Structure 1
Amino acid sequence: MQEFAKSKGMEVIPLVQTFGHMEFVLKHRPLWSLREVARCVGTLNPHKEEAVKLVMEMLRQVVDLHPGLNTLHIGADEVYMLGEGEESKLWLASNERTVEQLFLSHITKVAKAIKQQWPYLTIIMWDDMMRGMSPDTLKDSGLVGLVQPMLWDYTPNLDLDKTVSLLEKYHSASMSDVWAASSFKGSTSVFTCVPSTQRHVDNHLQWLKVAASLSAGINLKGIALTGWQRYDHLSVLCELMPVGLPSLAACLQTLLHGQFSAEAQSKVLELLGVSSVEVEAIEWTSGVDSFPGRRLAGLIVELNSLLNSEDIRFFENGMYVRGWFSPYQRQRKMVTPLITMPIQDQASIYLAVLQQKVTTLREEMVQFYPESTVQEWIEEHVSPVMTPLQKITEDIGACVKEIVP
């Protein structure tokens, strides 16, 4: 992967979480004691010596696996419940310290340890935990000069003035090298299946306005186009990569052209061999497989449309099901066969269509994803719709046996 990236002139920057969003580590029973509070799986207890050792060991493993590494991202976003642990409460009570100082002390400790071990590395970190801090608080922490903040905002209506003033604040705290972070998939809602290209393009257009509004002293190093796999380690899957590619291409072309112009759009259509930048509007039946996962993307869009069709999704809320096959009637097996048997037939038709599409989708998806991911995607998106339909057909069959000779 790294050799391929290098051959394309790309530099790999690994991200290792070092404070918040450590669910992937702290979910393991032997490490439960390193949580800030028991019920928050993601936040590390900054007071435990083993916690810093754990972080440094993870970093060492990742650095070792990236020969020629120049830059490292240490995460540090969304450190929930910080200051709520017993050790933190004692620390905060001493000398009237603040949660801001608690956050900064841990990150500064980690950043200094990284610089001591690998002095040549540039360190990037998410900025959200520092947004409410004053320039003096940041300066007093000792963090300035060790890290470069990366501001993230994924919304299509990103607040221009607020974002610019935030960047100006970091500059006044002597953090002049900064980064931005947008998104091309994920970030819309935790369970979104198919992305809206326009929504993500609008986010990039706002970031372009931010970049154009900055004072000369601020060095905006670049923008990271994030593509979310999940909101966190324990949440459901976001949109898969194949359905996200048209959005990624559109966002990249927007940045390259400085606007989402007709030229930018036509470039996307030409490069991906698609009929629209909006994945739901693409004519998937036409054209060759011009990008990896093109067929899978089409199958996902088609199945998602079917799963969200009112006829199927709200089948149980229809007049006939609610009027002649309610939970009360099911339980007592007192039904009208003349009406319930056609309900069963209709549900069976929907099930057959869905099953056929799921089988085709599964065959395609296993070429790109491990079986566990395929299973998760189907259970997340398909099962909640198919299971009630299957239950209706079975229950009607059982009821009809009680009343039809």
Structure 2
Amino acid sequence: MLATSHCTAFRMEASPWPKGKKLVHLDLKGAPPRIEYLHKLIELFASLGADGLLLEYEDMFPYEGKLKMLQATSHPPYSREEILSIQDVARSQGLEVIPLVQTFGHMEFVLKHRSLCGLREVDRCLGTLNPHLEEGRRLVEEMLRQVVDLHPGLSSIHIGADEVYLLGEGAESQRWLGGAPGRSVQQLFLGHVTRVARGMREAWPHLNIIMWDDMLRGMDQETLRDSGLGGLVQPMLWDYSPALDVEATVSLLEKYQASGLAHLWAASSFKGSTCAHTCVPSTLRHVQNHLQWLKVAGSSPAGAHLQGIALTGWQRYDHMSVLCELLPVGLPSLASCLQTLHHGRFCPDAQARATHSLGTHSVEVEAMTGSPGSEAPSFPGSRLAELVVELTALLDSEELRHFENNMYVRGWLSPYHRQRRMVNPLITQQIQDQATALQAVVMEKVEAVREEMVRLYPASTAQEWVEQHVEPVMAPLQRVLEATRVCLVEMLPHNPSPSLMDSQ
């Protein structure tokens, strides 16, 4: 359990999350779970109190025809049958499925392809679509059509549109901005999103259209009101900070509501928002984020209709970044955050429900197996979570991180010594023995992680995780080992000449 001092901070007057969906966000652009594991996760999400899934497929969707190039190549995308099975399992658990298709920003998985690079707003930005090209609009429409067609009975869809970097800097945008007085980048953004949303409304009148809100935040009420987005889209306000500014967020709700955007969503985070390369999340950090969102919900204006909250679990910051926390290590945080929303605070009962659901004694993943004699956690992927925690602790240890800077290496195996291959063999051998033993311990853990990871994820995910998170930490140790080998070869006679005494 969390320390008593932490629990005390949570004992505040609060209400549970108001009526609306609690969506678990699955970011599939990295570490996509094998379909059998994903089915187990969906069942777990339902048991933890979720009402739906926000599925960000990216390159794991089985795009067809001219869009087939968008499919993942390092591992197979989900098949059409698997996409349907995800929905079947979700439906059997009472969960709504809402797909997320990026339509403006964060289109790296599309625009990285050489044949499509002409659709970028500017060459150096892989994520932002040029809003002036008919080919780009047709591409977005076809992506949406294929996703909607493979989700029968769909009622809501998310069109992304966050972090549209460098919009307005492309040549066509520059010409458009200078073509008439008063044109702005805000209008450029609103024009594209409105065209996309109106096209969707014509094709699928029944669909609710959700979008991220960050590109709308700096716009005034008049601009938003005149945009035509009112009644077309439902902004999803996202903020993943444990220090979320409640007053500022409530003001945003008021502004959107007054601008005709009365149906609104929130987005919190249970993992993947601390740092791009984080391996193990802090439950406390993410619980605090949800406590702040509860304050926002409790202070939202009467005319703002909160449709629900998406608990995001990012797997990469964008398509080109490293893998962050894997789902198994994030599940204790997810369970705790869902229970925080259910109870309106993170009280002892909320903690008990979270730990009971996962078969653990602690809501912090790093402490799951910390008590002697405690039973092993029983949630799907718990063994991988344990192994990742153990390996990460070893990789973060002073002994490994600073091996090159310990007194013996700096004192007897410095760059000066290595360059001249002139070392004290006695101490150098001791350095080599220590480095070899440390390497063996790490590699034993790495192989255990790899073996467990390939049970839940594609082999390419295990390879990527090791290369990104293990090899950079091990590289200095490898350099030391190579230096000791070279220097000892130079300093120790392997075929000694007969001694003077032997020749007499």
Q: Using the aligned pairs only, state the percent identity.
A: 66
In the alignment, the residues of structure 1 paired with residue 243 and residue 115 of structure 2 have an alpha-carbon distance, to the nearest angstrom, of: 43
TM-score in terms of structure 1 length: 0.99
- Structure 2: segments with no counterpart, 5+ residues: 1-85, 494-504
- Indicate the residue corresponding to 1:358 in structure 2: 446
User: Does structure 1 conserve the Cα–Cα contact (< 8 Å) formed by 2:234 and 2:263?
Assistant: yes
Counterpart residue type for residue 227 of structure 1: G
Candidates 122, 125, 145, aligned match of 2:208: 122
Q: Alpha-carbon deviation of 1:289?
A: 5.0
- Indicate the residue corresponding to 1:9 in structure 2: 94
Q: Alpha-carbon deviation of 1:380?
A: 1.0
Asked if residue 385 in structure 1 is aligned to residue 385 in structure 2, the reply is no
In the alignment, the residues of structure 2 paired with residue 238 and residue 398 of structure 1 have an alpha-carbon distance, to the nearest angstrom, of: 37
User: Does structure 1 conserve the Cα–Cα contact (< 8 Å) formed by 2:369 and 2:376?
Assistant: no
Candidates 120, 126, 133, aligned match of 1:41: 126
Counterpart residue type for residue 378 of structure 1: V
- Indicate the residue corresponding to 1:283 in structure 2: 369
Candidates 463, 471, 474, aligned match of 1:375: 463
Candidates 172, 194, 197, aligned match of 1:87: 172
Which of structure 1's runs of 4+ aligned residues deviate more than 4 A? none
Asked if residue 256 in structure 1 is aligned to residue 335 in structure 2, the reply is no
In the alignment, the residues of structure 1 paired with residue 222 and residue 180 of structure 2 have an alpha-carbon distance, to the nearest angstrom, of: 18
- Indicate the residue corresponding to 2:268 in structure 1: 182
Equivalences for residues 282-301 of structure 1 within 5 A: 282-283=368-369, 286-301=374-389
Asked if residue 111 in structure 1 is aligned to residue 197 in structure 2, the reply is yes
Give the structure, 1 or 2, with the largest relative contact order (CA under 8 Å, sep 6 or more): 2
Counterpart residue type for residue 133 of structure 1: M
Q: Number of residue pairs matched?
A: 405
In the alignment, the residues of structure 1 paired with residue 455 and residue 214 of structure 2 have an alpha-carbon distance, to the nearest angstrom, of: 38
Q: Alpha-carbon deviation of 1:141?
A: 1.2
- Indicate the residue corresponding to 2:436 in structure 1: 348
Q: Give CA-to-partner distance per residue, 1:187-212, whole Å, 9 cap, x none.
A: 00010000000000000000000000
Asked if residue 215 in structure 1 is aligned to residue 317 in structure 2, the reply is no
Aligned-partner SS, 1:95: coil
- Indicate the residue corresponding to 2:256 in structure 1: 170
Higher deviation after alignment, 289-298 or 100-109: 289-298
Candidates 420, 423, 426, aligned match of 1:338: 426
Aligned-partner SS, 1:225: strand
Aligned-partner SS, 1:40: coil
Counterpart residue type for residue 140 of structure 2: V
- Indicate the residue corresponding to 2:62 in structure 1: none
User: Does structure 1 conserve the Cα–Cα contact (< 8 Å) formed by 2:360 and 2:377?
Assistant: no
- Structure 1: segments with no counterpart, 5+ residues: none
User: Does structure 1 conserve the Cα–Cα contact (< 8 Å) formed by 2:360 and 2:376?
Assistant: no
In the alignment, the residues of structure 2 paired with residue 99 and residue 27 of structure 1 have an alpha-carbon distance, to the nearest angstrom, of: 24
- Indicate the residue corresponding to 1:230 in structure 2: 316
In the alignment, the residues of structure 1 paired with residue 469 and residue 300 of structure 2 have an alpha-carbon distance, to the nearest angstrom, of: 43
Q: Give CA-to-partner distance per residue, 1:199-242, whole Å, 9 cap, x none.
A: 00000000000000112111111100000010000000110000
- Indicate the residue corresponding to 1:247 in structure 2: 333
Q: Alpha-carbon deviation of 1:64?
A: 1.1
In the alignment, the residues of structure 1 paired with residue 433 and residue 422 of structure 2 have an alpha-carbon distance, to the nearest angstrom, of: 19
In the alignment, the residues of structure 2 paired with residue 228 and residue 5 of structure 1 have an alpha-carbon distance, to the nearest angstrom, of: 20
In the alignment, the residues of structure 2 paired with residue 167 and residue 359 of structure 1 have an alpha-carbon distance, to the nearest angstrom, of: 49
Aligned-partner SS, 2:99: coil
- Indicate the residue corresponding to 2:76 in structure 1: none
Higher deviation after alignment, 196-205 or 286-295: 286-295
- Indicate the residue corresponding to 2:142 in structure 1: 57
User: Does structure 1 conserve the Cα–Cα contact (< 8 Å) formed by 2:315 and 2:323?
Assistant: yes
Counterpart residue type for residue 373 of structure 1: T
Aligned-partner SS, 1:53: helix
Candidates 70, 75, 95, aligned match of 2:155: 70
- Indicate the residue corresponding to 1:201 in structure 2: 287
In the alignment, the residues of structure 1 paired with residue 402 and residue 394 of structure 2 have an alpha-carbon distance, to the nearest angstrom, of: 12
In the alignment, the residues of structure 2 paired with residue 249 and residue 382 of structure 1 have an alpha-carbon distance, to the nearest angstrom, of: 28
Q: Alpha-carbon deviation of 1:288?
A: 4.2
In the alignment, the residues of structure 2 paired with residue 82 and residue 76 of structure 1 have an alpha-carbon distance, to the nearest angstrom, of: 12
In the alignment, the residues of structure 2 paired with residue 225 and residue 312 of structure 1 have an alpha-carbon distance, to the nearest angstrom, of: 35
Higher deviation after alignment, 268-277 or 250-259: 268-277
Higher deviation after alignment, 278-287 or 84-93: 278-287
Equivalences for residues 149-168 of structure 1 within 5 A: 149-168=235-254
Q: Alpha-carbon deviation of 1:144?
A: 1.1
Asked if residue 401 in structure 1 is aligned to residue 486 in structure 2, the reply is no
In the alignment, the residues of structure 2 paired with residue 288 and residue 381 of structure 1 have an alpha-carbon distance, to the nearest angstrom, of: 25
User: Does structure 1 conserve the Cα–Cα contact (< 8 Å) formed by 2:229 and 2:261?
Assistant: no
Counterpart residue type for residue 240 of structure 2: Y
- Indicate the residue corresponding to 1:329 in structure 2: 417
